A and B are shown apart, each in its own frame.
Chain A
Amino acid sequence: MSKIKLTGSNSGYVEISSAADAGNLTLQLPTAGTALLSNAGNVFSGITTTGQLDINGSIDVSSTSVFNDDVTFTGASYNVVWDKSDNQLEFGDNAKLSFGASSDLQIYHNGSDNYIDGNSNAEDHLYIRANVGSDHSSNIHIQAKSGEESIVCRDDESVELYFNGNQKLRTHNSGVIITGICTATSFSGSGEGLTRTSQYAFRNRFHNGGMTVSQRLGSTETTLNNNNWTQIMDRWKCYENTDATITATMVSNIYPTAGTVPSSYNSVRLKVTGADTSLSSSQQVQFSQIIEGYNWQDLRWGTSAAKSVTVSFSVLATGASASNVTGTYCLQCSNAGTYNRAYIKEYTIDAINTWKRVSLTFPGDTSGSWATGNNESCRFSWFLAGDNNQYGSADTWSSYKTSTSNQKNFLSHVNNMIFITDLQVEEGTVATPYETKPYSTELQLCQRYYQDIPANSAVYVPMNGSYARINVLFPTTMRATPSITVTPSWDGGGATIYGCMFYKSGNNTMPRMQCSSEF
């Protein structure tokens, strides 16, 4: 083909011109369609197209470019789109934002999770920074859930760690502040600077919680008095007014060993030897200890500053069948002596022949009268049968109530047995492990309330005339002037909190003296 056809309008003309020194110019046309092509070096300006502009070669733009709609960057497998309507640059799944000569930092979504990957050489670090240009007190917040802090890095201040939105650890210019329990497998350092806000030793305000001291009964099984209190292990006593017969005894060694085995070697066992299947009005059984005012008054009960306490204990129940003993039981806290305030907590025994560790927190009572000094102050009572005339609600301070109506009747079957030990009550809302004390210490604590002075252990003083006299200095100052049972009986005598004196006519053997200032 060698023809050239030029067409034009009547008023204009078609011009093909060139610079004088342009040399040979070639206009190469395609074999089909209409196109404007040239060899390299042609310059076009002001090109406007109303259809799609296809450029099948590379494009070299030397000035600012404006794209007024979506722009797609097509990858081998994944695309990136500037989405005009969404006002965002959209990376498809697995399309990566990549930085560095060796893709050292990549940010992408793989279809399920999001990644910020550092993929550089060793010792090349990843920095997330605020206040780079200048210090304007900006912080870094990392939130696993929108609006709920997980980690907060504060400018010139602390780093904070949160659990469920609550701060648990905060760095401080003097160290670290931890809110809550710090659990570790080991600590290093001397620990000489450690301090506690609550005591560690002697934190258990119960005496004889491990049932190691039994001056009155030893390990002899005894039947509880009906309609009255019965002192069993030291500092512990039971009350029952039912038609059942119940025995109490100190049991040594743990039986059986299923569940959370107690720390103590001993426990108290309460056993039903005569059942009461249908409790009448006001009938109840409780196992109790009364705490002296000296050992309770620092908790400030009866004031707005009353502190919470936590009771923990180990319990096991057994019987002919599980249904005989499993169910809901109540632990009651009341102001001893006055008995017009009570707080009831429920707990369950849900398996037979299995030790269970129970922890129950009692908020401090901000009202009511709680005695101080050597008076009876606070009583905790474990109920085995509730008084239906004094049912109350759980988890609230109220007037005197014994249990909730959910209280199990433990007396329903003969041979129902309950074992209790490791009883502890301590300040705070956390139950710490049972505090085992040396036997001699526990005995001395109990002797403030009861002392058993064996026969022939006292000093015998012959008197002028026909009388003999014995003087005893108590090894521990007693809570109050004790009642004293002298066996065999002597003619008379008296006591103080420090000691006692008895007399009898003639020469006599030294008696046994049982001294009690128990509540």
Chain B
Amino acid sequence: MSYTYKTLGNYPDEISGQPMQNILRKEDEAFIPLDEKNSDYQTYLKDIQTHGMSIVEVSDCRNGVPDKSMWQYLDNAEQLVIDKYGSDSGKLTALREDRYVRAMEAKFPYEKMTDAAPIINATTQEIKDKYRHLPMRR
């Protein structure tokens, strides 16, 4: 059985205004914590690896900081940040750097070169220069 998920945005200001530390599993509306020791979260990560980010519905980039909800790996992640915080935000640069570093280091979800190459190729030279100490990805 394959699940689909939805990342949750921020709490209302009346509550705390902070990013929620959960994602929602849509089939049974289970709130899944962003905790590697939670087996449902482990399943979430495996599902992303197996099926790609298309199984995750994201309408909000939370506080714009990459986190364990994995919203930052959506194809439209940059657009979500631009929509919420503007194109000149440092958050956008932080997002691009995070994706580039993980792609260069072959970390989740860019273990495969076929997934990493588009990220590496689309990264600006400025960011590449900043992280030129990283080993060449082969």
**A503 vs B25: C-alpha distance when bound (angstroms):** 17
Contact in complex: A481, B30 (CB < 8 Å): no
What mask results when residues 193 to 229 of chain A are scored 1 for a CB within 8 Å of chain B, else 0?
0000000000000000000000000000000010110
Taking CB as reference atom, which chain B residue is nearest A373?
B37
Contact B1 A225 (CB under 8 A): yes
Check A390 for interface membership: any CB of B closer than 8 A.
no
**Total A residues in contact with B, Cβ cutoff 8 Å:** 32
Q: Are A479 and B37 in contact (CB under 8 A)?
A: yes
Whole-angstrom distance between the alpha carbons of A225 and B29 in the complex? 19
Most chain A Cβ neighbours within 10 Å, of B1, B21, B28, B35: B35
Question: Cβ of A464: which chain B residues have Cβ within 8 Å of it?
Answer: 14
Interface contact A485-B15, CB-CB below 8 Å: no
Determine whether A37 belongs to the interface, using a CB cutoff of 8 Å to chain B. Answer: no
Query: In the bound complex, how far is the Cα of B20 from the Cα of A516, in angstroms?
Result: 18
Within A454-510, which residues are at the interface with B (CB < 8 Å)?
Answer: 463-467, 469, 479-487, 489, 492-495, 501-503
Is A494 a contact of B20 with CB atoms below 8 Å? yes
Contacts A225-B1, A492-B20 given; does A463 touch B31 at CB 8 Å: no
Report which of A484, A503, A519 forms a contact with B30, defined as CB distance below 8 A: A484
Q: How far is the CA of A19 from the CA of B8 in the complex (A)?
A: 148
| B54 interface hit (Cβ, 8 Å) | no
The interface residues of chain B lying within 8 Å CB-to-CB of A495 are 22, 31, 33
Whether a CB of chain A sits under 8 angstroms from the CB of B39 is: yes
Contacts of A374 in B (CB 8 A): 37
Task: Report the minimal beta-carbon distance from B25 to chain A, rounded to whole angstroms.
Answer: 8
Does chain B have a CB within 8 A of A375? yes
Q: Is B11 an interface residue (CB 8 A)?
A: yes
A494-B22 CB under 8 A given contacts A464-B14, A483-B31 = yes
Interface of chain B residues 1 through 42 with chain A (CB within 8 A): 1, 8, 11-12, 14-15, 20-22, 25, 28-33, 35, 37-41
Tell whether, in the assembled complex, residue B8 and residue A483 are in contact, meaning their CB atoms are under 8 Å apart: no
Contact B33 A519 (CB under 8 A): no
A375 touches B37 (CB 8 A): yes
Shortest distance between the CB of A218 and any CB in chain B (Å): 18
Q: Is there an interface contact between B37 and A463, defined as CB atoms closer than 8 Å?
A: no
Is there contact, CB below 8 Å, between A484 and B15?
no
Asked whether A463 lies within 8 Å of B29 as measured between CB atoms, the reply is no
Q: How far is the CB of B16 from chain A (nearest CB, A)?
A: 9
B1 touching A228, Cβ below 8 Å: yes
Q: Does A297 contact B (CB under 8 A)?
A: no
For the complex, give the distance between the alpha carbons of A486 and B28 in Å.
9
Known interface pairs A492-B20, A492-B22, A494-B21; A518-B33 also in contact (CB < 8 Å): no
The answer for the CA separation of A216 and B30 in the assembled complex, in Å, is 15
Q: Is the CB of A469 within 8 A of B15?
A: yes
A493 in contact with B20 given A227-B1, A483-B40 (CB within 8 Å): yes
Apart from A228-B1, A492-B31, A516-B30: 8 A-B pairs, beta carbons within 8 A: A463-B14, A465-B12, A465-B14, A479-B37, A480-B33, A481-B33, A482-B33, A494-B33
Query: Chain A interface (Cβ within 8 Å of chain B)?
Result: 225, 227-228, 374-375, 463-467, 469, 479-487, 489, 492-495, 501-503, 516-519
8 pairs, CB–CB < 8 Å, chain A vs chain B? A463-B14, A465-B12, A467-B12, A483-B32, A489-B29, A516-B30, A516-B40, A519-B39
